[in-house]
Chains A and B, each alone.
Chain A
Amino acid sequence: DGGITQSPKYLFRKEGQNVTLSCEQNLNHDAMYWYRQDPGQGLRLIYYSQIVNDFQKGDIAEGYSVSREKKESFPLTVTSAQKNPTAFYLCASSIDRAGGETQYFGPGTRLLVL
């Protein structure tokens, strides 16, 4: 999991502002994921991508957008439409093989609203 990096570690968002969280991996993994973690809750899937230039909505995609222009990168934008964005955001990646594979997580970005 040391091959996945996220930046910044902390991010502050003003009301009405869009912010972008970075996720990069050098593990040559095909699949990448974004999760949101709130206190007392598990990890909820926002978006995932199994291949470059393709991505799918997860369970809580509203107010978020992603892109996958490069295999190594999967940035997440938290838009102004996301009314409660304060959370810990985790990016993960895995080898995309049928049958389920281990997901490795980045160190996370904590987003706070000013």
Chain B
Amino acid sequence: GENVEQHPSTLSVQEGDSAVIKCTYSDSASNYFPWYKQELGKRPQLIIDIRSNVGEKKDQRIAVTLNKTAKHFSLHITETQPEDSAVYFCAASDPNFGNEKLTFGTGTRLTIIP
């Protein structure tokens, strides 16, 4: 099945700086890559996603890039704010299950330093 690796596991950045989180996946037929944000004790919430026919997608301060050749995708947060502090998970769809099943990375704990 699909395997997703996520780095780094923890990340601290000064408020106003940018943060980048990277994920790699194993199956070149994966076609859907969402990113979720999870605050302490809360449910994961989708913040941005990208499909395999697109190389980059942006939504205000958040962007995702996808490199299909290298099989990796990244989350970019610019002008970070204290409310960006949370755990972020990447995921990739699993082609062995019709791309309906998602395989998640192990998460990145992002801390914004005021």
Contact = CB atoms under 8 A, between A and B. Distances in A.
B42 interface: yes
A45 B92 CA distance: 13
B98 A105 contact: no
A21 B43 CA distance: 16
Interface in B42-89: 42-46, 49, 51, 89
Contacts of A31: 100
A101 B45 contact: no
Contact of A100 (B32, B42, B43, B106): B32
Interface string B97-112: 1111111111100000
Chain A CB within 10 A, most for which of B44, B49, B93, B98: B44
Contact of B32 (A43, A101, A106): A101
Chain B CB within 10 A, most for which of A43, A102, A107: A43
A75 B32 CA distance: 27
Given A100-B32, A105-B36, 9 more contacts: A42-B6, A42-B104, A42-B107, A59-B1, A96-B100, A98-B98, A100-B93, A103-B102, A105-B45
Interface of B: 1, 4, 6, 30-32, 34, 36, 42-46, 49, 51, 89, 93, 97-107
30 contacts: A1-B43, A1-B45, A40-B106, A40-B107, A41-B106, A41-B107, A42-B4, A42-B105, A43-B44, A43-B89, A43-B104, A44-B104, A45-B102, A45-B103, A48-B100, A48-B101, A59-B1, A94-B100, A98-B100, A100-B30, A100-B31, A100-B100, A101-B32, A102-B46, A103-B34, A103-B46, A103-B102, A105-B44, A105-B45, A108-B43
